[in-house]
Amino acid sequence: MDELATKLFDVQAVKFGSFTLKSGQVSPIYFDFRLIISYPAILEKVAGLMWKKCADNGANVDLICGVPYTALPLATLISVTNRVPMLLRRKEVKDYGTKKLIEGDYRPGMNCIIVEDVVTTGSSVLETAVELRKLGILVTHAIVLLDRRQGGKENLAKHGIELSAVLHVEEIMASLEKQSKVDHKVSEEVMDFIRGHQQSIISPNPRLHVSLDERRSSSKHPVASRLFDLMIAKKSNLCVAADFSSFDEVIKLAESIGPKIVVLKIHVDILEDFTLAKMKQLKKVAKSHEFLIMEDRKFADIANTVHQQFHGGVYQISEWADLVTAHPLPGPEMITHMFGDSSSDSRDTCGCVLILEMSTKNALTNPDYAKEGAKWGLMASDVVAGFVAQSPPDSDFSGWIQFTPGVNSASKTGDSKGQQYCSPAEAVLERGADIIIVGRGLINSSDVVATAENYRTEGWAALTQRITNP
Ligand SMILES: O=c1ccn([C@@H]2O[C@H](COP(=O)(O)O)[C@@H](O)[C@H]2O)c(=O)[nH]1
């Protein structure tokens, strides 16, 4: 480390004086690592140490991505030397061609390590992580040549990113002082500045503050794309849970509130008078009022059984459901194979909605469960259109849609059987809901049309507020 610190000082990649940083602060030390490209031996040494740090930390690496621009040569060298594929993040979108911000070959669910030269607050690393996460790429580690120790490690940890640094500012100062490159006074001045300038950052969540149009273009499932279109066209994020035992009641409700909703959710197995002919009738209503039908089947068996439950039996769910819920409990293979093989038509006509968290008190769906389920969902982006949750999952992806049940404006607590409720605004603004699911709060009201309009207005206003005022 002494050798590296000296080399960086000698080529003036570490400078002392008075420097105005991006944040406006005036710093007594400046790291100009752009210079390293003029010294291939130093570049090679640094890239080697960074990759070693990464390997020592046991990070899972499928891809690496450099933060533009200074870290790009470092990332390229690491990529080529270690045969690890690289992604390129653009700073600005081109207004021609593919208009992509991230270039390269990737699949959702892949682990990407971010490579950076210097971290102060961590904001540049986070900006890159946000863009990668929008595409379903997992980002849990970043590797940096120098950590200025001004809060970056802590800030990134809050966003699920572990930062590893080859050098820390106090090591550089100690080393340069030991070798009489700087005197003790300068060293003290630098360390006082570092201690006095700890900074935090607030970061946009990858999904919560992105426009629906933009999310629609990153969505990977045709049913999710259709749902984004409906939300935009109908200015609605309302899904109604039509939990009646009579199919005629469901159809009557759908006819009256159809213009206000984007999804009608049913439990087909509680309908006493289910017939495929009545389902055809409901499909007609859904077509004319433009809403999707979600079967809240909550599949949770082995893939072979779920496949039969989905396609067969008396309900023939695959014939009519636009969305169907499933627990990730049985594992990723069930999710991948539930609709059949990759050529199955159902993959385009029906989207799986994974239940990552339940709304009930004492549910076993804890954060680790939700995190793992979300990861599996990302790996099956041709099957999964969204998820049911009470908070944004760790592995978030802006092309997915979050459905949040347990919404009821009239009850602050819940029912007497474990269900918990919150308001539409709380569901959207605090819990990350894109779509609010309202059941008894609407279907038991005396004027379902007026109540649907109230939920639609409140839910939509909250969603608009969240997008426009991050
Ligand atoms: O975690 C979950 C998952 C699904 N639900 C379903 O949503 C509705 C809620 O009905 P309310 O009358 O508004 O309580 C119902 O169909 C549940 O099966 C859920 O509540 N929680």
- The atom number, within ligand 1, closest to the CA of 363 reads 1
Looking at per-residue confidence, does 144 or 130 come out higher?
A: 144
298 within ligand 1 shell (Cβ under 6 A): no
Mutation probe of ligand 1 site: the residue of 253, 263, 296 with most atoms within 8 A of C-beta: 296
Asked if residues 112 and 65 have their Cβ atoms less than 8 Å apart, the reply is: yes
Q: Which residues are CB-contacts of 291 (< 8 A; sequence separation ≥ 6)? A: 230, 254, 258, 261, 262, 263, 264
Give the C-alpha separation, 337 to 135, whole Å.
22
* Minimum CA distance residue for ligand 1 atom 10: 439
Asked if residues 172 and 151 have their Cβ atoms less than 8 Å apart, the reply is: no
Coil, helix or strand at residue 18: strand
How much is the pTM? 0.70
Q: How far is CA 27 from CA 22, 52, 123, 189, 190, in A?
A: 11, 30, 18, 10, 8
Average pLDDT score over the chain = 92
DSSP output for 218-247: H--SHHHHHHHHHHHHHT--EEEE---S-H
Mutation probe of ligand 1 site: the residue of 419, 422, 431, 436 with most atoms within 8 A of C-beta: 419
* DSSP E strand boundaries for 410-456: 435-438
The band of 61, judged by pLDDT with boundaries at 50, 70 and 90, is very high
Number of helices and strands (H, E) in the chain?
19, 16
The band of 291, judged by pLDDT with boundaries at 50, 70 and 90, is very high
Q: What is the pLDDT of residue 59?
A: 81
424 within ligand 1 shell (Cβ under 6 A): no
Residue 22 has pLDDT above 70, yes or no: no
Residue 444 has pLDDT above 70, yes or no: yes
Give me the torsion for CA of 143, 148, 153, 159, rounded to 10°. -80
Residue 97 has pLDDT above 70, yes or no: no
Q: Report, as an integer, the average pLDDT of 357-364.
A: 94
* Minimum CA distance residue for ligand 1 atom 5: 405
Q: What is the pLDDT of residue 110?
A: 92
375 token code pair = 């990861």
* Minimum CA distance residue for ligand 1 atom 11: 439
Q: Report, as an integer, the average pLDDT of 98-112.
A: 86
Q: Give the Cβ contact number of residue 278 at 10 Å.
A: 15
Q: What is the pLDDT of residue 95?
A: 57
> What is the 421 CA–ligand 1 centroid distance (Å)?
10
Residue 185 has pLDDT above 90, yes or no: yes
The band of 198, judged by pLDDT with boundaries at 50, 70 and 90, is confident
* Minimum CA distance residue for ligand 1 atom 21: 359
The band of 430, judged by pLDDT with boundaries at 50, 70 and 90, is confident
Q: What is the pLDDT of residue 96?
A: 58
Q: Report, as an integer, the average pLDDT of 301-320.
A: 96
265 belongs to an annotated ligand binding site: yes
Closest alpha carbon to 224 in 385, 86, 334: 385
Q: Report, as an integer, the average pLDDT of 438-462.
A: 97
Closest alpha carbon to 346 in 325, 320, 318, 368: 318
- The atom number, within ligand 1, closest to the CA of 440 reads 12
Q: Report, as an integer, the average pLDDT of 180-207.
A: 81
Q: What percent of the chain has pLDDT over 70?
A: 95
Q: Is the ipTM of this complex over 0.90?
A: yes
- The atom number, within ligand 1, closest to the CA of 419 reads 14
Give the C-alpha separation, 465 to 468, whole Å.
5
Asked if residues 208 and 462 have their Cβ atoms less than 8 Å apart, the reply is: no
